[in-house]
Amino acid sequence: MKVIDKIKRMFSETRRILILTRRPKRSEYNETIKVTGAGILLMGALGFIVLFISRIA
C-alpha cells in the first residue's frame, strides 16, 4: 500500500468518526467533571500519604 493510499484511508476514517460524534449533554459533562475531579483528589491524597510515610520512616 502506498503512502498516499494510507493518508487517504486515515482521512476517510477520521472523517467517519467525526461524523458519528456528538457534543455531550450538560449532565454527561458534569458527571465527567465530577469523576475526573474525584480521581485527581484520590491520586493526590494517595501521593501525599506515600510522601508522608516515606518522610517518617
Whether residue 36 is contained in a domain is answered as: yes
- 23-44 tens-digit pLDDT: 999 999 999 999 999 999 999 9
**Boundaries of domain holding 30:** 25-57
Whether residue 8 is contained in a domain is answered as: no
Count: domains in the chain:
1
What pLDDT shows up at residue 52? 95
What pLDDT shows up at residue 2? 87
Cell of 23: 457534543
Whether residue 19 is contained in a domain is answered as: no
How far apart CA 2 and CA 8 sit, in angstroms, is: 10
Whether residue 32 is contained in a domain is answered as: yes
Whether residue 18 is contained in a domain is answered as: no
What pLDDT shows up at residue 57? 76
How far apart CA 37 and CA 44 sit, in angstroms, is: 11
Whether residue 47 is contained in a domain is answered as: yes
Whether residue 51 is contained in a domain is answered as: yes
> Is the Cβ–Cβ distance between 5 and 12 less than 8 Å?
no
